[in-house]
Structure 1
Amino acid sequence: MSASPIAARSFRSPRPAFTLIELLVVIAIIAVLIALLLPAVQAAREAARRAQCTNNMKQLSLAALNYESTHQTVATGGFTRSGSLPGSKWNFSPFVHMLPFYEQQNVYNMVNFSPGVFTAENVTLAGTSISALQCPSDATVYDLTPVVATQYASLPSGTWMQAKTSYGGVVGCWSLMLHIDNPTFAARKANMNGVIYAHSATRLSEITDGTSNTMLFAEHNHGAFDSAGQAQYHGWNSGFWTDTMIGGYYPINGTLKVLRLSDSAARDYIAFNIGSRHPGGANVGLADGSVRFLKDSTDCWPIDPTTKTAVGVSFNADGQGIQTIAPGTKIGILQALCTRNFGEVISADSY
């Protein structure tokens, strides 16, 4: 006689299932694994972005050398014209002059060199975005912002945009915002000690500190700014000093430690100095065509915390509007790398 179906079912084991505690443990383990994995993924992504930035800098450095081979000088940081003349007082960035040398001949054909950079004839050029001039670690540099209309004498109707760059030509230890209308223009120009600056015409033979120890280009930290600053600074086509010029006055990524974004007088210097969105340093392109990653800890001359100026360096001490270095002043490794003719001896393992 067979057992009843009801009795048979009563002897079966219950269906196995996870308890609430087991589920919570599994979820916790998954969360821990994700937490461990995310930094590794982010680090890998940043490594790829930094490699692309290095490649961009390499292209620019080689383009500068090819430009020098063709024109017998490294591309200028931009010429200026007298304020009494029509057109823009400020002129084009070195990146505009170098366009054919980093495979941008079509963009170069758009340029109208006669009237200057901030003119209606060249406003379309301003909005042309070039990936070779943008570091992928700084997402903000890809954003087009409205042109600063006050820089232009007149603009045709319509919406005009400005593209940005992550890079700039290295003017040396300081910038004097050189302009042809300066009363002491000749003395101020002679006071510049980098390779690329306003009215520069530097030959490789003039880089007496050695091409492997002298910067041509560096990064600036566009993403450090609020939306107003991102609209104001780092236009790729402009030779103005806060757009495509960079100096080594403050430590790498150090301006935000010394200066404040809330200080309107300090913002220009934050825009002008070396910095990046890479953790721990910034890429620089040297005059031998190589690229180095300079750490934030790279030796720099001391900065007075009260005056925010370099110790032993004075501005306009003789009334000529130049910078003067007192005898015995410490010159940091960073300043040595920024200058073309200071005569320092730098070993490769010092930076």
Structure 2
Amino acid sequence: MRFHQRSAFTLVELLVVIAIIGVLVGLLLPAVQAAREAARRMSCSNNFKQIGLATHNYHSAYNQLPQHMTGNTRTYTNDSTICNRLYISAQVGLTPFFEQQGLWEQISNPFDRNGDGVLAYPPDSPPMGPGPWQTYYPPWMTEIPMLRCPSDPGRGLPALGRCNYAVCVGDVIELVHSGGKNESGIYDGSVGIDTDEAAIRAGNGSNDSNRASAARSRNRGLFWVRHKTAFRDCLDGLSNTIAMGEIATILGGREIISEFILNGPDTVTTDPAACDQFVDPQRPQFWLTTATVGGGNQIRGGRWADGRIQYTAFQTIKPPNSLSCFRGGDASQGISSASSRHQGGAHVLMGDGAVRFITDSIESGNQAITPAHSGAESSFGLWGALGTRGSREIVSLEQ
């Protein structure tokens, strides 16, 4: 009797093995992707914790929070290639506190723009640099890893240095874009508070007490643009007040989480729902093709050193991953929302340094009414209350 030993698989056996491997890969791939995103999300949270620690160290050193929209006043010069006219973000002031001392040295010293070895202005820039939209200035073009979320794939031009972490300026629309002051640091009451730019730009003049009062009643966040704030101003408790939050940067797909509307309705300053009409009803995560979105480097999170709300600030009005919309150009008033590339929500940094993940479904009150101010309870529920520093709303995410 003879026995024959097979030297290879049959075709059927080979196909069965390939099919089994394919099924296993199909089952494991989502798990691998989920694990990678979990790692990126943890890395993002760690970045935020480091920023929180930097903020507390800054406060320990100067007894105040880093001022958002600071620098040289317009009274020095109107030329933005020389003077920044009070547009520098709080993120700039934090650089030496999160291991960016070299970058801070460049910013805090005069800049020899023409390279002649003579620091005279003009044409050179004084300390704190030129307008934060000037592309010739190296620090403004620098992308800082600490300010980037690993889950955000946006890279490079047309942005300058991208930034995924923005300061919280409260739950009101009017006057939070400027804090009530113009480029000269003056409470300019020459135009109404419901107008396009509402005196964020030019103007010297004299302080208007009515404008100062209006600004104080509306700027309810832990950060108050063009003003100094400190932990002692947070009467609701640091653990109950948002200091910063995430923002997603542009990928070029007209997504509502990463691109904002410019030249929107005049009513956007009083009606949070005014821009809902520009959302594509068939694809609610995207803008309609007819909507005017920001272009060039006027894009969400596209200028890490620019303190305007379009770039490095947000309000607790619409819940995370909602739209951002502005009445005019990139210096106008409007709504800036938190957003992220994480599934289902975005990270926020609380005043005490804790990092929390806020879901899209957080209770956010009535989205069709004018934002309350002057010490009133927030119009936007738990989300709005977490964005105010002193409205006596002792709310907690643990509730």
Q: Which TM-score applies when normalising by structure 2?
A: 0.68
Q: Residue 240 in 1 paired to residue 308 in 2?
A: yes
AA aligned opposite 2:147: L
Partner of 1:320 in structure 2? none
Partner of 1:167 in structure 2? 165
Residue pair 2:231, 2:238 contacting (<8 A) in 1 also: yes
Residue pair 2:237, 2:394 contacting (<8 A) in 1 also: no
Residue pair 1:222, 1:230 contacting (<8 A) in 2 also: no
Match of 1:180 among 169, 182, 188: 182
Structure 2 distance, partners of 1:129, 1:327, is 40
**Cα offset for 1:287?**
0.8
Q: Residue 109 in 1 paired to residue 114 in 2?
A: no
Structure 2 distance, partners of 1:330, 1:119, is 34
Q: Name structure 1 gaps, 5 residues minimum.
A: 1-7, 148-161, 305-310, 314-322
Aligned residues: 305
Q: Residue 301 in 1 paired to residue 373 in 2?
A: no
- SS of alignment partner, residue 294 of structure 1: strand
Partner of 1:317 in structure 2? none
Structure 2 distance, partners of 1:278, 1:65, is 26
Structure 2 distance, partners of 1:186, 1:122, is 36
Structure 2 distance, partners of 1:264, 1:229, is 13
**Cα offset for 1:54?**
0.6
**Cα offset for 1:326?**
11
Map 1:270-285 to 2 at 5 A.
272-285=336-349
**Cα offset for 1:347?**
3.3
Q: Residue 89 in 1 paired to residue 85 in 2?
A: yes
Partner of 1:201 in structure 2? 228
Map 1:1-351 to 2 at 5 A.
13=4, 15=6, 17-79=8-70, 81-82=73-74, 85-86=78-79, 87-111=83-107, 112=110, 113=127, 116-118=130-132, 123-140=137-154, 143-146=155-158, 162-175=160-173, 176=175, 177-178=177-178, 179-180=181-182, 182-183=188-189, 185-190=211-216, 191-223=218-250, 225-226=252-253, 231-233=297-299, 234=301, 235-255=303-323, 272-304=336-368, 311-313=369-371, 324=373, 330-350=379-399
Residues 68, 332 of structure 1: CA spacing in aligned structure 2 closer, same or farther, 3 A cutoff?
same
**Cα offset for 1:114?**
5.0
Residues 225, 198 of structure 1: CA spacing in aligned structure 2 closer, same or farther, 3 A cutoff?
farther
Residue pair 2:66, 2:93 contacting (<8 A) in 1 also: yes
CA offset digits 1:273-325 (Å, max 9, x no partner): 11100111111111111111111121112223xxxxxx243xxxxxxxxx658
Structure 2 distance, partners of 1:94, 1:122, is 21
Partner of 1:152 in structure 2? none
Partner of 1:316 in structure 2? none
Residues 48, 223 of structure 1: CA spacing in aligned structure 2 closer, same or farther, 3 A cutoff?
farther
Residues 224, 273 of structure 1: CA spacing in aligned structure 2 closer, same or farther, 3 A cutoff?
farther
Where is the helix percentage greater, Structure 1 or Structure 2? 1
Structure 1 distance, partners of 2:15, 2:250, is 40
Structure 2 distance, partners of 1:328, 1:102, is 35
CA offset digits 1:47-81 (Å, max 9, x no partner): 11111111111111111111112111111111374
Structure 2 distance, partners of 1:135, 1:47, is 12
- SS of alignment partner, residue 218 of structure 1: strand
Residues 123, 272 of structure 1: CA spacing in aligned structure 2 closer, same or farther, 3 A cutoff?
farther
Root-mean-square deviation over aligned CA pairs? 3.3
Residues 292, 270 of structure 1: CA spacing in aligned structure 2 closer, same or farther, 3 A cutoff?
farther
Residues 225, 65 of structure 1: CA spacing in aligned structure 2 closer, same or farther, 3 A cutoff?
farther
Residue pair 1:172, 1:192 contacting (<8 A) in 2 also: yes
Structure 2 distance, partners of 1:119, 1:139, is 22
- SS of alignment partner, residue 37 of structure 2: helix
- SS of alignment partner, residue 48 of structure 1: helix
Please identify, of 47-56 and 230-239, the stretch whose mean Cα deviation from structure 2 is larger. 230-239
Residue pair 2:134, 2:140 contacting (<8 A) in 1 also: no
**Cα offset for 1:131?**
0.5
Please identify, of 84-93 and 57-66, the stretch whose mean Cα deviation from structure 2 is larger. 84-93
- SS of alignment partner, residue 251 of structure 1: coil
Structure 2 distance, partners of 1:197, 1:301, is 23
Residue pair 1:91, 1:116 contacting (<8 A) in 2 also: no
Larger-gyration structure (1/2) = 1
**Cα offset for 1:24?**
2.6
AA aligned opposite 2:51: L
Q: Name structure 2 gaps, 5 residues minimum.
A: 111-126, 194-210, 255-293
Residues 312, 247 of structure 1: CA spacing in aligned structure 2 closer, same or farther, 3 A cutoff?
closer
Partner of 2:288 in structure 1? none
